[in-house]
Amino acid sequence: MRSHPKIIAHRGGAGLRPENTMAAINHALALGVDGIEVDVHLSADGQVIVHHDDALNPHTTRLNGEWLPETGPLVKDLSFAALQRYDVGRLQPGSSLARKHPNQVAVDGERIPLLSDVLARLDEEDAFKAEILIELKTHPIDPTLSSDPDHLVQGILDALRHAGMIERAVLISFNWDALDYALRCQPDMRTGYLTYPREELIARKVPEDLFITLAAGPDVFHAMAKRGAVFWGPLHREASKDFVALAHACGLEVSVWTANDRAAYDALVHAEVDYITTDYPDRMLDYRRG
């Protein structure tokens, strides 16, 4: 039984600092998290960048001090130099994200970082060997919105090898084929296979032939283990005690997303999950300390 799950800062701790920025990562490490989770894309010039959305979000992005009036271009279509023009250090007041994260501390001037910048930070002494969960932002449903998965995997692996951090990283994705490719390229790469709740997929009218790679269930755990996964990554509400036990029986750890309150923490400890990814790592660390 794991009574003390590892605490992972989701997007660096999006409830506390601007998501996927060095400010968030620095803050999470100062809190003493067990790891950080970041999202990655490829820029137009082949740089592995740390960013969540496929396109620049008008609720998180300013240019020359002004909020974008509408959704910006796809990040895959912009060079890294072009992306550096945008300030991502503040949530737009009154936006849905600002309401979701009312306690996020703005850090004006933050830019979209490179994955190599994040890895260099994790290599510093005060990072305490924190793990990094790297989510490949490739679309299993609409691949035109993101960069080529194989090229993205190659860029990530190159960065990890250069930093000497293969053993401290886990590649995670809803796109299982991309993770399969990563394992062919780097057999000792740890991988986490993410899933959506089935009812959400039905509501979104996702084709049923994609369910095997997107929805949780006992058969899926066997498929993950056969592919070489080290963990299953469900929405935290999906991690029932029975599902977690089934995953463990298949040799998988369970890493949930995104649990943010005491009730969720208590339920996940009861279910014996291994990792909790959270927007509020300060809370989860406090709960763990008792």
Single-letter code of the amino acid located at 259: A
- The closest of 17, 3, 16 to 260, measured between CA atoms, is 16
* Separation CA 75–CA 95 (nearest Å): 21
pTM score, whole prediction: 0.96
pLDDT attached to residue 3:
63
* Separation CA 233–CA 216 (nearest Å): 9
Determine contact, residues 73/55, Cβ cutoff 8 Å: yes
DSSP 84-112: TTEE-SSPPTTSHHHHH-TTPPP-TT--P
For residue 5, which phi and psi values (nearest 5 degrees)?
-65, 150
* Separation CA 218–CA 275 (nearest Å): 19
- Cα angle vertex 168, ends 33, 148, to 5°? 110
pLDDT attached to residue 140:
67
Within the chain, which residues score under 70 in pLDDT? 1-3, 140
Fold of the domain built from segment(s) 6-289? TIM Barrel (3.20.20)
pLDDT attached to residue 2:
57
Single-letter code of the amino acid located at 13: G
Query: How far, CA to CA in Å, does 254 sit from each of 193, 229, 285?
Result: 10, 11, 18
* Separation CA 199–CA 280 (nearest Å): 26
DSSP 112-145: PPBHHHHHHHHTSGGGTT-EEEEEE---SS-GGG
Determine contact, residues 16/104, Cβ cutoff 8 Å: yes
pLDDT attached to residue 139:
76
- The closest of 1, 148, 19 to 9, measured between CA atoms, is 19
pLDDT attached to residue 8:
98
pLDDT attached to residue 111:
98
Q: How many residues does the chain have?
A: 290
Query: Which strands, in side-by-side order, build the sheet including 62-63?
Result: 66-67, 62-63, 86-87
pLDDT attached to residue 79:
98
pLDDT attached to residue 1:
47
pLDDT attached to residue 205:
81
Bridge partners of 74, per DSSP, are: 55
* Separation CA 249–CA 257 (nearest Å): 21
